[in-house]
Amino acid sequence: MLSIVIPTLNEKDNVDRLLSHLTEQMEDGDEIIIVDAYSKDGTPDIALRHGAKVVFQKPVGIGLAKTEGAKHAKNSVLVFLDADCIPAGDFLKKMKSHFKRKDVHAVGGLDLYESDSALWKFLYDTYSTGVFYSAALMHKLTGKYWIAANNAAYRKNLFFSVGGFRSVICEDTDMMQRLPPSKKVKYDPELVLTLSDRRFRENGFFRTLGLWLWSNVLIFAGKGAPTGGYRKG
């Protein structure tokens, strides 16, 4: 069974759409945990209407929000999603199929994007697909594994063995740096999430990539970039 953790801050429309897709796929024992940063738009009410558990936390960064949600999880497998995504119709089924194997400790899926522009969607998807397969290749060669934090699943004991996500930009890279190499990780390109392109639209695609690159450099240097002003929900 899965515990699905989703951080929110004023995500009324997105969380309604996402939970509608998830609840269609859930089975008895699965749960959704919304970690809400005191939204003003009714997001918690919508989450409760869909049967989700709602936990409140001050806006201290999306990484710590996900870790807080994980602390309230009843199941041994944690799935981390962002509020502005749409899972493929068989997303949870595929995720569970991997964790039926005891030798699988973490799973990463493929992020694609929705956009009003066919050109930008092509660029976003090309970038994201390239990152996914690069990470899978790095894992195959070295055992180190980077899993996008908005399409990731970990066994709870593994996640908390390093304290969970921290409050830095690119909390997934930070997690990779702290976890030891392991071959017990699966990359599944059919485990697809479609993400909103709102961050790219709001801050610019190349500017956002530059910020992520700089944060990764800081993480590799031993100090992550603070999340002030970035994805606080």
Q: What is the pLDDT of residues 113-171, one digit of tens each?
A: 999 999 999 999 999 999 999 999 999 999 999 999 999 999 999 999 999 999 899 99
Residues contacting residue 18 through CB under 8 Å, at least 6 positions apart: 6, 81, 83, 84, 85, 86, 87
Identify whether the C-beta of residue 32 lies closer than 8 Å to the C-beta of residue 4.
Answer: yes
Which range, of 61-65, 104-108, 191-195, averages the lowest pLDDT?
61-65
Beta-strand runs (E) in the chain? 2-8, 31-36, 53-56, 77-81, 85-87, 106-114, 151-155, 185-196
pLDDT one-digit tens code per residue, 39-70: 999 999 999 999 999 999 998 889 999 999 99
Element at 125 (helix H, strand E): helix 118-142
Element at 215 (helix H, strand E): helix 205-220
Give the model's pLDDT for residue 60: 87
Distance CA 68, CA 55 (A): 8
Q: Which residues of 49-79 are buried (b: 16+ CB within 10 A; e: fewer)?
A: ebebbbbebebebbbbbbbbbbeebebebbb
> In this structure, what DSSP letter does residue 100 have?
T
Tokens 């709602």 sit at which residue?
Answer: 54
Give the model's pLDDT for residue 232: 42
Band of residue 224 on the pLDDT scale cut at 50, 70, 90: low
Tokens 């119709």 sit at which residue?
Answer: 89
Distance CA 162, CA 224 (A): 16
Percent of the chain past pLDDT 70, that is, above it, reads 96
- CATH for 2-220? 3.90.550.10
Q: Return the closest-CA partner of residue 224 out of 71, 58, 8, 61.
A: 61
Tokens 């970990």 sit at which residue?
Answer: 154
Rg (CA), the chain: 16
Give the model's pLDDT for residue 38: 96
Q: For residue 203, give both structure tokens.
A: 């801050």
pTM: 0.93
> In this structure, what DSSP letter does residue 226 have?
P
**SS3 state at 2:** strand
Question: What count of other Cβ atoms lies within 10 Å of the Cβ of residue 102?
Answer: 8
